[in-house]
Amino acid sequence: MGPTEPATATLLLSCRDQRGLVAAVASFIFEHGGNIIHADQHTDQQESYFLQRVEWQLDGFGLNREEIASAFRPIADRFDMTWRLSFSDRSARIAILVSKQAHCLYDLLARSRMGEVRAEIRVVVSNHPDLESIAADFGVEFHYLPVTPDTRAEQEASLSTLLNRQAIEVVVLARYMQILSPSFVESYANRIINIHHSFLPAFAGAKPYHQAHERGVKVIGATAHYVTGELDAGPIIEQDVARVSHRDNVTDLARKGRDLETIVLARAVHRHLENRIVVYGNKTVVFD
C-alpha cells in the first residue's frame, strides 16, 4: 500500500456452497457504511465449495477495526465459514530461512528495500554461515543454526524460540535445504512458503535439475507452495516454466532455473501478503 492510499479491510472466506453467501457478506459491509473496492469469488462445482475475497475501505466504515471480527462472526457461524480478516496498513513480520544458495534471499531483500514487499523482514536464519554478509548488507539480523542429525530437534527448538521472540507471522524458505518437523509446520499452518526448483508434482525431493536432465525434459519449472507434513506436496501458490533443450547441461538448467525461482517465490510472497490466497484441502484459489 502506498503512503497516500486509504487503509482497507479484507475478508478471505471459504465454506460449503449455499444460498445467500454473497448477499450476506455484501449486506454486512453495506449496512455498516462500507465501500467495497474489490470483490472476487469462486465456486468449486465438483466439491460444492465457495471461496471469496472482498476488500473495502475503512474510511467511513461504521465499525472500528477492533469491532469488525466480532460483528462478522455471527454471519461466519451461520454459514460455517473458515475466514480471516486483515488490514492493508499492517505489515506482516517475516523470517527468511536459507542454506547456501543466495539468489532468492538477495531478491527478497532487494524487493523489500525498494518497497515491493509489504512486510518487515525481521531475521534471516541459516544452517550455514555463508550468507551472513548479505543479511548484514541489508541491515537484517542473521542467525546461524547448524543442523546435523544429532542436533536437528535442538536447533529447531532454538528456531522456534527465535521466531516467537520476533513475533514472526510468515516463514519463507528461500532454498532452505532442511526438512521441518510436523509440529513446527503445524504451528505455522499455511504460513510457511517454500520455493521448489521444479514444476511440481514432477521431480519432487532432492536434485530436481539432475532428474530433469536425465529425463530430457523440454521445459523446467519452479513451484512456490505452502509447506505441509508431506515433502514438496503442499498447496501450490505459483508456478512458472522456461524452455530448455538437449544442448543444456545440468549447470545450464540450474542457471535458468534460478531466474524462475526468484520470480515465482516473489510472486507467491506478494500474493500471500496481499491476502489473495485461500487454501482448501490441498489446493489454493489465488485471486487476482
> Strand 219-226 vs strand 192-196: parallel, antiparallel, or unpaired?
antiparallel
Query: Cα separation of 202 and 232, whole Å?
Result: 10
> Could you give the CA distance from residue 276 to residue 91 in angstroms, rounded to a whole number?
15
Nearest alpha-carbon partner for 128 in 190, 186, 176: 176
Task: Report the alpha-carbon distance of residue 24 to residue 282 in Å, rounded.
Answer: 27
Q: In what order do the strands lie in the sheet with 35-44?
A: 35-44, 49-57, 8-16, 82-87
- Omega of the bond leading into 201 within 30 degrees of 0 (cis): yes
Does 240 participate in catalysis according to the annotation? no
Q: Is 12 helix (H, G, I), strand (E, B) or coil?
A: strand
Q: Among 232, 248, 259, 288, which one carries the catalytic annotation? A: 232
Cα separation, 60 vs 32, in Å, equals 9
Q: Which of the residues are catalytic?
A: 232
